[in-house]
Amino acid sequence: MTALHPTTDLRLSAAMREGSRAEHQAAEDSTFMAELLAGRVNQQGYADYLLRLRGVYATLEETVRAHRADPAVAAVHDTALERVDALDDDLDHWAPGGPRAVDSPAADAYRQRLVAAAAEWPALLVAHHYTRYLGDLSGGQAIGRVLDRTFDLGGTGIAFYDFAQIAKPKIYKDGYRARLDELGTTAGEQARIVDEVRMAFRLNQEVFAELGERLEAYAR
């Protein structure tokens, strides 16, 4: 990313996707996700998931905003993606009047890593940004539709999956990947960012694992 380092022909976006393929599959296969998509998680279970996401996105969006002058962070930062307000709207639906904070070691560890990654090298935030928002704009769209059907929501309570300012997710994702690729990262920088993508997937996995331990209480 600096003129002092040689650039590489590798595309950062491709390295991030290829480098996290196994982790993505593991996330898809997590018991909590599978049960949720099969319609076997109740309102409390989904609310508990949203509460964890709320904490994670609050920290993600705060750290990204704080580092938006960094060229790598600037390449992806976009207020149209921000999810905290949507999560609050959804929590009003799934847990009306309930708390907005949650006791969650997995969410806390995720938030702590976001802060530490930003302090270590702000470009590492790109890995976290990619893992959540490109996921939300991809498989997340299907998850929203399944929830809508399963709980017969009529489009309510799923604001999290609705990016009102992004009309065409596919085109948006193409532009996002192009901006990553234009950063001119070196092979060494790419390796660090890909490692952080894997870390981000693992942190998500830990959130699913935590929820998975409570599936009996969430049975629907």
The contact set with ligand HEM (CB under 6 A) reads 16-17, 24, 27-28, 33, 37, 130-132, 134-135, 138-139, 142, 173, 201, 204
Number of DSSP helices (H) and strands (E) in the chain, helices first: 13, 0
Tell me whether residue 4 or residue 167 sits nearer to ligand HEM (CB atom): 167
Using DSSP's 3-state secondary structure scheme, residue 41 falls into: strand
Tell me whether residue 190 or residue 204 sits nearer to ligand HEM (CB atom): 204
For residues 184 and 72, what is the distance between their CA atoms, to the nearest angstrom? Answer: 10
Query: Cβ of residue 36: shortest distance to ligand HEM, in angstroms?
Result: 8
Segments of the chain assigned E as strands:
none
Query: Cβ of residue 66: shortest distance to ligand HEM, in angstroms?
Result: 22
For residues 139 and 217, what is the distance between their CA atoms, to the nearest angstrom? Answer: 26
- Residue closest to ligand HEM, measured at CB: 139
Query: Cβ of residue 28: shortest distance to ligand HEM, in angstroms?
Result: 4
Tell me whether residue 28 or residue 213 sits nearer to ligand HEM (CB atom): 28
Tell me whether residue 63 or residue 131 sits nearer to ligand HEM (CB atom): 131
Segments of 25-141 assigned E as strands:
none
Tell me whether residue 84 or residue 92 sits nearer to ligand HEM (CB atom): 84
Query: Cβ of residue 3: shortest distance to ligand HEM, in angstroms?
Result: 27
For residues 157 and 167, what is the distance between their CA atoms, to the nearest angstrom? Answer: 20
Is 218 in contact with 33 (CB distance < 8 Å)? no
